[in-house]
Amino acid sequence: MGSHAMFGQMVTLRRAGLAALVLIVLAPCAFAQFEIVGSWAARNNEDISRDSYPVDYVGLPLNDEGRTRALAYNESQLAMIERQCEGWPQFYFIQGPFGLRIWSDNDPIKGQAISYTIGAWEDRAPMTIWMDGRPEPSKYAEHTRGGYTIGRWEGNTLVARTTHMKAGFLRKNGPPSSDQAVMTSRFYRHGDIMTVLAVVEDPIYLAEPHIISKSFQLTAAPISPIGPPCVSTFEGRPPGESVPHFVPEKNPFVDELTKMFGLPRDVVLGRRETLYPEYRKTIKDTFVTQPACTRNCGAAPAR
Amino acid sequence: MEVGFCEWAVDSLLGRLSFLVLAIASLVPLPASAQGRGGGPPPSAQASAPIDLTGYWVAVVNEDWRYRMVTPPKGDYRGVPITKEALQVVNAWDPAADEKAGEQCKSYGAGAVMRLPARLHVTWQDDNTMKLEVDAGTQTRLFRFTPAAAASGPPTWQGDSTAQWERAGGRGGPPAGGSLTVVTKNMRPGYLRKNGVPYSADATVTEYFDVSASPGGDMFVVTTVVDDPRYLLQPFIVSSHFKKEADGSKWDPTPCSARW
């Protein structure tokens, strides 16, 4: 073998080695993430944001202050012209009934994602998840309805932390969230299914972190983000009128779910102990299964 | 993996440092996970687990409370995309008949067991079989990482489950976690909910387990996909979350009940 050929083999070997090393070192970068961009249809096989019953805090770990605030809420507030376009905090992207449209803004040279955006709904601001390593804003920075979200990859999981949200609601029927609430969302993808696990911490209104999870399915049919802007209109409450509310102990809907489904009041009012299996023992002898369902029992089967 | 590292790695490796990088690479031993390809047996499922599911876990019922914590009214199947044939089963639900037939565990089968308000105890039965015990209904599931070991016998409530790790990173990268995928077939017909919303013997349950260190402690979320050509118009998908507990002091096995 001539020296020229040997030199060629060495070059080839060196290139192969370099390629292998590139694969070894960059593997975590290339394989530790998933494609989140696209349209994700909601699979509403489990709870969606309860807005059917005025007092339904079932499954929430409210503290006493949160419960008191919630019971003071009157949904007629939404008729106030100055509140019609408040929208819901970012928890709603998981709890709401709609699908997600997610897109990215990328570095024009290297193509890496600078941010992901979960498109808005008419009553929820978009969520931009900043992936460029920027720090969280000062705690004194402006709080907005959409909050401020920074993200990072943990293996094949996208972890997003949302802070700086304005005070709002955990659900649409009044359980409150404070401007100190923080939501940590984890996005897991398995094939065409994406599950989001969100943990909401709120030192003001929650007795323990509130956990929400929901699955979405990738769809070829594009989901269009809609709204804002929201346009206010007169709905019967002149500007400057008092804020509709219930005074303590006077919420007329407090026993509605108990009458309809037999749920104990502690459950309806979102006490933390009701979230755990052992709570069942305390109601086993008193709970009465309600008569057969006659309305809103489920969608009529198509076939 | 931080983006900054990736940028650095790209710049470094594709830049003018290739000789130096190669020299360093030749001195770096291969990680254990990469061994066993040329010689020796591959590591067992337990030894190669990218996540740790072992221990005691408790379901936190933040969602679907009135379908999980208590027995919902007969005929209530909200959220479940059932077929007309399934609706007949729903409307015919009779817990007394289930008890008489010795089928009071129908709502504890693999299609619904992870949705129960329950505690779990996860251990390794052997190097390639994970055991998941459920105190509610005193059920035991075996996740077999060796497909041949999951050979079918008569159908059971928990069916035959084959398991597989899904790894993130790998190929010599730093540990980056992963997830567990479990596919279960050969189940006895059961209920997705206590009030008789059915799944059939033709159903397949696919589950994805993801572990995270979350505020308030370790958690895992399991995404359960039930496919049933007979009773479901489309896959039924729910995600259920569990918090880790320090020990088994609250472990409380109870028998199956058709009514509660």
pLDDT at B1 over 60: no
Query: How far away is chain A from the Cα of B168, in angstroms, using its nearest Cα?
Result: 5
- Which chain A residues are within 8 Å of B63, Cβ to Cβ? 46-47, 59, 212-213
Q: pLDDT band at B9, cuts 50/70/90?
A: very low
> How many CB pairs below 8 Å do chains A and B form together?
248
Amino acid at B4: G
Average pLDDT over residues B13-20: 40
Question: Looking at chain A, which residue has its C-alpha nearest residue B34?
Answer: A24
The reply to whether B14 and B138 lie within a common domain is no
Q: What is the pLDDT of residue A9?
A: 53
Query: How many domains does chain B divide into?
Result: 2
- Say if B217 falls within a structural domain: yes
Long-range contacts of B31-35 (CB under 8 A, 24+ apart): B31/B172, B33/B170, B34/B171, B34/B172
Task: Pull the structure tokens for residue B69.
Answer: 């914590």
The reply to whether B119 and B11 lie within a common domain is no
Average pLDDT over residues A211-230: 88
- Which chain B residues are within 8 Å of A96, Cβ to Cβ? none
Q: In this predicted model, what pLDDT tens digit does every residue of A62-85 receive, in sequence order? A: 999 999 999 999 999 999 998 898
pTM: 0.87
Q: What is the pLDDT of residue B152?
A: 72
Question: Hey, of A12, A21, A48, which one would you mutate to test binding to chain B, going by the most B CBs within 10 A of its CB?
Answer: A21
Across A193-273, where does the E strand assignment appear?
193-201, 210-219
The reply to whether B149 and B234 lie within a common domain is yes
Q: What is the pLDDT of residue B213?
A: 86
- Which residue, among A252, A298, A242, has the nearest Cα to A54 in the 3D structure? A252
The reply to whether B129 and B8 lie within a common domain is no
Tell me the CA end-to-end span of chain B in Å, nearest whole number: 47
Average pLDDT over residues A44-61: 85
Q: Measured between CB atoms, does A157 come within 8 Å of chain B? A: yes
The reply to whether B25 and B145 lie within a common domain is no
Query: How far away is chain A from the Cα of B233, in angstroms, using its nearest Cα?
Result: 8
Q: pLDDT band at A16, cuts 50/70/90?
A: very low
Q: pLDDT band at A296, cuts 50/70/90?
A: confident
Residues of chain B above pLDDT 70, percent: 81
The reply to whether B150 and B23 lie within a common domain is no
What is the predicted ipTM?
0.87
Average pLDDT over residues B125-150: 93
Q: What is the pLDDT of residue A4?
A: 52
- Say if B238 falls within a structural domain: yes
Question: Looking at chain A, which residue has its C-alpha nearest residue B208?
Answer: A190
The reply to whether B60 and B178 lie within a common domain is yes
pLDDT at A32 over 70: no
Query: How far away is chain B from the Cα of A5, in angstroms, using its nearest Cα?
Result: 20
Contact at 8 Å (CB) between B209 and B54? no
Q: In this predicted model, what pLDDT tens digit does every residue of A84-137 receive, in sequence order? A: 988 899 999 998 889 999 999 999 999 999 999 999 988 899 999 999 999 999
The reply to whether B136 and B186 lie within a common domain is yes
Contact at 8 Å (CB) between A222 and A39? yes
Average pLDDT over residues B84-104: 97
Question: Looking at chain A, which residue has its C-alpha nearest residue B194?
Answer: A289
- Say if B42 falls within a structural domain: no
Query: How far away is chain A from the Cα of B108, in angstroms, using its nearest Cα?
Result: 15
CB neighbour list of residue B231: distance below 8 Å, 6 or more residues apart: B82, B83, B85, B86, B89, B198, B199, B200, B203
Q: Measured between CB atoms, does B148 come within 8 Å of chain A? A: no
Distance CA B89, CA B107 (A): 14
Average pLDDT over residues B124-132: 97
Q: What is the pLDDT of residue A169?
A: 96
Count how many residues are written for chain B.
Answer: 260
- Say if B260 falls within a structural domain: no
Average pLDDT over residues B9-22: 40
> Spelled out in words, what is the top-level CATH class assigned to the domain A38-52+79-219?
mainly beta
- Say if B173 falls within a structural domain: yes
- Say if B254 falls within a structural domain: no
Task: Pull the structure tokens for residue B57.
Answer: 């876990």
Domain carrying residue B7: 3-30
The reply to whether B148 and B113 lie within a common domain is yes
The reply to whether B13 and B127 lie within a common domain is no
Residues of chain B above pLDDT 90, percent: 75
pLDDT at B84 over 60: yes
- Say if B208 falls within a structural domain: yes
pLDDT at B21 over 60: no
Q: pLDDT band at B174, cuts 50/70/90?
A: low
Of B9, B60, B65, the CB nearest to A26: B9
pLDDT at B41 over 90: no
Compute the mean pLDDT over every residue in chain A, rounded to the nearest whole number: 88
Average pLDDT over residues A264-284: 97
Which of A211-220, A246-255, B1-10, B72-81 has the lowest average pLDDT? B1-10
The reply to whether B17 and B145 lie within a common domain is no
Query: How far away is chain B from the Cα of A128, in angstroms, using its nearest Cα?
Result: 17
- Residues A299, B86: C-beta atoms closer than 8 Å: no
Which of A261-275, B8-22, B170-184 has the lowest average pLDDT? B8-22
Q: What is the pLDDT of residue A33?
A: 85
- Which chain A residues are within 8 Å of B241, Cβ to Cβ? 197, 211, 213
pLDDT at B26 over 50: no
- Residues A215, B239: C-beta atoms closer than 8 Å: yes
Which of B19-23, B106-110, B156-160 has the lowest average pLDDT? B19-23
Task: Please report how the helices B3-14 and A3-31 are oriented relative to each other, as an axis angle in degrees rounded to 10.
Answer: 170
Q: What is the pLDDT of residue B14?
A: 41
Distance CA A100, CA B165 (A): 28
